[in-house]
Amino acid sequence: MQLLITTPHYDEGTHYLHAWSQLLIEEAKRKGAKVKVLEREDVTRDQFQSYLKKQPFNLVVLNGHGNEYAVAGKSNEEIILATDNGDNLFENKIIYTRACSSGVILGHVLIEKGAEGFVGYIRPFIIPLDPDYMQKPLEDPYAGPILECSNQVAISLIKGHSAEEAHKRSLSVYEQKFDELSSSKVATTHILPFLLWNMDAQVHY
């Protein structure tokens, strides 16, 4: 297993994704995978595409902002992957894009260009935040259930499962979290609509 993962860090959303991605990096290393991390200012189109061209990664995980056609890197302006730029670099690779709406068009294009599998979202990926936990995002009771469910996609892929199986295992965690919160009286029950939203938005090809 060779993993390439991007972890930009420039606003609240990417701050949380960066923190939760550290768990994925640790898991991959525990499993003996070779891991290349592009983080913060290093998440540029040139560096990202250069690594894809030179090294035989079989799993790529992208964290960041996106839309139907593209995924951004170190900033909203730094597009590292788009339907007209870099989409031909994923032959025989599985890609997970934890980015808004990337499953609408980009995911299909990647599969058409030879990707082995894709997991992403057909709507915005929403992370509810508790501002009191901005300095300790791994402990945020609002964001935690959402990011644990999405992390399950990458964890399953790191373990060698297919995109379809990783998607199913993630949905199973979503269902578990939804049941746990629905039956509890804790203050975090208001995140239930966000769990359902992200669960319904997640797709695989």
Which domains are seen in the chain, by residue range?
A: 2-204 (3.40.50.360)
Q: What is the mean pLDDT of residues 167-182?
A: 92
DSSP percent split of the chain into helix, strand, coil, nearest 5: 45, 20, 35
2: left (phi over 0), alpha (psi -120 to 50) or beta: beta
Beta bridge partners of 45: none
The angle that helices 143-158 and 12-30 make with each other, rounded to 10 degrees, is 40
List pLDDT tens digits, range 47-89. Answer: 999 999 999 999 999 999 999 999 999 999 999 999 999 889 9
pLDDT band (50, 70, 90) for residue 185: low
List pLDDT tens digits, range 106-156. Answer: 999 999 999 999 999 999 999 999 999 999 999 999 999 999 999 999 999
Q: What is the pTM of this model?
A: 0.95
